[in-house]
Structure 1
Amino acid sequence: MENFELEDFQEATRVIREYIPRTQLRKSANLSNLLSAKIHLKLENQNVTGSFKIRGAIHSIKILKNIYDAFITASSGNHGSACAWALSRVNTVGKIYLPEKISEVKLEKLKKTECGLVFVDEVELAAKNAAEANKSKVKFLSPYNDLNIIRGQGSIGIEIFQQCPKVDAVFVTVGGGGLISGIAASLKLQKPSIKIYGCLPKNSPVMKESIQAGKIIEMDSKPTLSDGSAGGIEPGAITFDICKELVDEWVTVTEEEIEDAIYIAHKNDEQTIEGAAGVALASMIKKSTEIKGKFVVTVLCGGNIDEKIHSKILFDRKKVRKTKIIRSLEEPESF
């Protein structure tokens, strides 16, 4: 972990705390009883803008504000919303490059900010080119391939250890790897024995497949409810080596298992979570045999899910398709 010191994450936490409070770590009584473990949920779905992304955005923009005149990013989802919120609170300016096709819900949220919105086809390429053209004054904010972003996300690890020093294992969803890189590094600097599970949808397991191949690979992703973690990893991403070193085990889950997890979070813990958060919860349930008797934390990374999709999942699971894990929660003796 040559790129990180514990003090980096502690300082990032202090910077972030000026703007947002510590998120709750809640024990899930039902899941703890069912799985015979001490299950805790880190509620990043209740964070500002509805996801963990606000941490990296606030940290990066705050510490770089006096170096750059403006910031640029490319995102149609949680990272864009987080950057927009952070830019307004830190009182600086920026632009968000968006695809021409974007959901109305996300677009309306972004329109309420003071950020400039630029609609293009190749959003990330256009954003990078715009920043490069004036690189002495403009900073491109990557969603994951940036040490300051990773250190900001690592504040979650600082909080988890403060809230549950006995933690044995943590389940984290993986896309580009910024979230798990920060959490794994900050936790292992505090407690090296902690086991880190990297969780991915079977329809888009790019980081897992890349680690197994020994290099970042290109692969097609199938549609997934975990749209926040889907897609490729840019060449040379620093998260690849961090994940290779610090992630202890990889878990993949099906779309059905993700839907189960979304239903379980709502029914048992009254939490609305998006598909990416469902991936981590489903992975934890899948590893129930391994975690018996242990203190376990699952990071619910976000709660931004379309209301129609969420309602359909709840209806299907309640009325139509009761899977084994759903039945076991309603009839524990059947598990």
Structure 2
Amino acid sequence: MSETHLGPAALVEPIRAAAERLRPLVRETPVERSEVLAAEAGGRETAVWLKCENLQHTGSFKLRGACNKVLTLPLGELVRGVVTASTGNHGRGVAHALDLVGGRGTIYLPTTVSPGKLAALGRYASVTLELFHTDSDQTELHARRVAEEGGRVYISPYNDLDVIAGQGTVGVELARQCPRLDAVFIAVGGGGLVSGIASYLKAVRPGIRIVGCWPEHAPSLYVALQAGGIVPVAEKPTLSDGTAGGAEPGAVTFDLARELIDECVLVSEAEIADAIRLVLVEHHLVIEGAAGVAVAAWRKTAARWAGKSIAIVLCGGNIAPAKLREVLDE
């Protein structure tokens, strides 16, 4: 699809097409009811559903968008080699997709990338890895320049309508798995996941509320939405490395997020760590920091949602063992 500023309604059919295209390649992840999280809201009718994208192939929702994009590319582009930038999960999705179709690619990562995610990417023969800069925004701009100068396709982690349509297939599954939903909590980085899920769910469930969730240390798109445009943001290290960095200038996700996100919640590093521990102890599920952001945002605002049916997207489970040990020892 062309990178024009399409409205959310225009994404519904591409998302449905992506769901059919991806059906043989991605896992329809389960939803698990959380009585312990529902109890934090009170109200006998409160229901909280965890959408377990941490159980997706590659351990993250990012596989959906990456696969959808790669499957739309001509063979010649795949042989020439694509370029992308990633903090880990998107890169792994692209690498997995390229392995499936026999393509090649180069992945640029910030030097601060999680060791676990870097090691996982190193196992893919389809890609070459390059480390550039500590700032993931600078890594992304550099990768895009490399692609343009070499005449290669650049696959954005979020600023690509085919990628957004792939991420939106999470919404297709949620609509089928949870017949009644009042709100969905979604961690936000560049905005691809929230744009895709919300575009679909608001089309089929017009009254649904979309809650965008950010770590206080990495709120770039939140700040942009408050400012009315993309602005520089000095981010701090965060457990939510999967949402680090914001949207590049001109990103299609800015207008989509502005239209689709109904409420915004920021959470602290301590709240993220608490959420990771709770999900592990109560549900025996390992989640990464970005997924912890959405759980923490629910816990911070739960009292407001008493009696409602809520989904929380556990967007990934790729947390380094050493980092998980640190969180558990706190």
Which residue identity is paired with 2:186? V
Out of 15, 26, 37, the position equivalent to 2:21 is 15
Work out whether 1:175 is the aligned partner of 2:189.
yes
Out of 118, 122, 125, the position equivalent to 1:111 is 122
TM-score, structure 2 as length reference: 0.90
Structure 1 residue 155: Cα displacement = 0.3
SS in 2 for 1:109: helix
Work out whether 1:83 is the aligned partner of 2:83.
no
Query: Residues of 1 paired with 2:90 and 2:300: CA distance?
Result: 28
Out of 88, 94, 101, the position equivalent to 2:105 is 94
CA displacement, residues 26-66 of structure 1 (integer Å, 9 cap, x when unaligned)? 11122223423100000011111111100000000011244
Which is greater in Rg? 1
CA displacement, residues 187-219 of structure 1 (integer Å, 9 cap, x when unaligned)? 001111100000001112111111111111111
Runs of 4+ in structure 1 over 3 Å off: 98-104
CA displacement, residues 119-175 of structure 1 (integer Å, 9 cap, x when unaligned)? 25354334222321343xx21000011101100000001100000020110000001
Work out whether 1:152 is the aligned partner of 2:166.
yes
Counterpart in the other structure of 2:3: none
Out of 53, 76, 90, the position equivalent to 1:44 is 53
Unaligned runs of at least 5 residues, structure 2: 1-6, 134-138
Which residue identity is paired with 2:109? L
Pairs within 5 Å for 1:312-327: 312-316=326-330
Pairs within 5 Å for 1:1-335: 1=7, 4-36=10-42, 37-66=46-75, 68-69=77-78, 70-99=81-110, 102-122=113-133, 123-135=139-151, 138-316=152-330
SS in 2 for 1:228: helix
Structure 1 residue 115: Cα displacement = 2.5
Q: In angstroms, what is the RMSD of aligned CA positions?
A: 1.7
Query: Residues of 1 paired with 2:217 and 2:169: CA distance?
Result: 29
Which residue identity is paired with 1:133? E
What is the aligned residue count?
314
Q: Which has the higher contact order (CA 8 A, sep 6+)?
A: 2
Unaligned runs of at least 5 residues, structure 1: 317-335
CA separation of 1:67 and 1:297: change in aligned 2, threshold 3 A: farther
Structure 1 residue 310: Cα displacement = 1.3
CA displacement, residues 203-244 of structure 1 (integer Å, 9 cap, x when unaligned)? 121111111111111110122111111223211111110010
Q: Is the 8 A contact 1:226 1:275 kept in 2?
A: yes
Counterpart in the other structure of 1:325: none
Counterpart in the other structure of 2:4: none
Query: Residues of 2 paired with 1:171 and 1:225: CA distance?
Result: 18
CA separation of 1:191 and 1:292: change in aligned 2, threshold 3 A: same
CA displacement, residues 64-119 of structure 1 (integer Å, 9 cap, x when unaligned)? 24462331112241111111011001222222223456544333222211123242
CA separation of 1:235 and 1:86: change in aligned 2, threshold 3 A: same
SS in 1 for 2:241: coil
Query: Residues of 2 paired with 1:201 and 1:247: CA distance?
Result: 16
